[in-house]
A and B are shown apart, each in its own frame.
With several copies, the nearest count.
Chain A
């Protein structure tokens, strides 16, 4: 995590730098169906982290040779808009973005019933509008909503959150400052309804006990986010119905 100089104290009187308790999520907002053209879309915010996800598909695959005879191919791109970060991000795809596109795809694959749509593609675009920690897990949470909004059959929603260790304390939903100066950052995504962990990364140092504790905290947080997802979809469904 680097940047030792001027390292701020991250836990004061049991409270975190933004006033949260260790096991407290940031304020979460979810809006489904925000774009006209995309088959499904959602914007999700965890505090100042704000991510747009859009889904097209199942649709024809171009080039054709990429298609699979027994399932839809999932294509996924995670990107940070140039102005989403403190220092302007160059628009050229970074190695980080390439890796995250892969792990996010692998976090969503287990949930999508791609076997129902052979020879098609399902395209997932995740655009980070503003980055303040936890962008990949916020992106997964938004992508799951966009997939549902597109009417793509899923085994369960996928929700994600990053836990971490800061000033020796295991905390939920770390923000950018905690990520930068903390001892560990551990993004986790899961299908809460069926108990399946679909993304798990650790960037930092933990003992075995700390790891178990962090994983349990992440899964508790994910369950809360999952409830918010279901509510957001219900809201969309209700409002659409009302419009009719």
Chain B
């Protein structure tokens, strides 16, 4: 059962203050309406992961890791590797998060990231086949939210993308096509995980009648609704998700998409720098 969540209490004064600066094209933290908080991306932070990244967007912190394991392909894609995305909101990240299996918010986040990677074929899964129909690389992408100050999705997508793009594949020592036995030496990592293109999400929040990007926790608390737009480096829309209990008009949706397409290249650039280094 999905249930109406408890609404965070935002004092009227605060609410008015946020709206007031928005009416002047500003944010309470001095940002412009279409700009992000400072972003940092650190890759290869987890020695045991084949790829990893720690991302901060303002005070929001997310860590993502990639583990590569040998497994069986899906029956309908016998010559392709498999991508599995999970997300968890650590109870460390917020006083309101509780320990336990991922809730609907974490599941939604993981599934939006998953679709945004899968649909534009971000990973070249066709290059991850080891024995056709029998053995392929399974790409486990695990995302953990460590500190929650709003806009978890965009931070998670950046961490996911950076972890994938910096991942390297362990050495395959031997392959027996008959038995399906594949021996791997995990202590040696060689080729990069093959990536076709970079993707990011841009989350636009609607507060009153205003649209802003990268809402922080206070802004999210008073936002009517959010629209996340996934955009690939070649400028296509590769995913979309309306979130929250409010609505958008057709015009608002179109504006939001336009804003997202303007902002996305900067995020893609940030990613490119982080994974090249």
Q: Which residues of A contact B (CB under 8 A)?
A: 1-5, 35-38, 41, 48, 50, 52, 54, 56, 59, 66, 68, 71-77, 81-88, 91-92, 95-96, 98-99, 101-106, 109-110, 114, 123, 125, 127, 129-132, 184, 186, 191, 195-208, 211-212, 215-216, 219
B277 → chain A closest CB, angstroms: 20
For residue B192, CB closer than 8 A to chain A, the reply is no
B69 at interface by CB-CB < 8 Å: yes
Q: Interface residues of A: mostly helix, strand, loop or mixed? A: mixed
- Is A201's CB under 8 angstroms from B48's CB? no
Q: Mark B32-60, 1 if CB is under 8 A from A, else 0.
A: 00000000000001111100100000010
Extra contacts, 4 of them, besides A3-B76, A84-B46, A202-B230 (Cβ < 8 A), are: A35-B93, A48-B47, A82-B86, A197-B242
Could you count the A-B residue pairs with CB atoms below 8 Å apart for me: how many are there? Answer: 211
Q: B147 to chain A: which residues have CB within 8 Å?
A: 35-38
Give the most central of B2, B52, B140: most A CB within 10 Å.
B2
Nearest to B260 among chain A residues (CB) is: A208
Which residue of the partner chain A has the closest CB to B56?
A36
- With A82-B140, A131-B48 already in contact, the answer to whether A203 and B119 are too (CB < 8 A) is yes
Query: Within the assembled complex, what's the spacing in Å between the Cα atoms of A236 and B83?
Result: 41
How distant is B43 from chain A, measured CB to nearest CB, in Å? 13
Which of A66, A71, A103, A205 is the one whose CB lies under 8 Å from B236? A205
A162 to chain B, nearest CB (A): 13
Q: Does B18 contact A (CB under 8 A)?
A: no
Shortest distance in angstroms between A113's beta carbon and chain B's nearest beta carbon? 13
Q: Which residues of B contact A (CB under 8 A)?
A: 1-4, 6-7, 45-49, 52, 59, 61, 63, 65-67, 69, 74, 76-77, 86, 88, 90-95, 99, 101, 104-105, 107-108, 110-111, 115, 119-120, 140, 142, 144, 146-149, 186, 225, 227, 230, 232, 236-250, 253-254, 257-258, 261
Closest A-chain residue to B149, C-beta based? A36
- The distance from the CB of A197 to the nearest CB of chain B, in whole angstroms, is 5
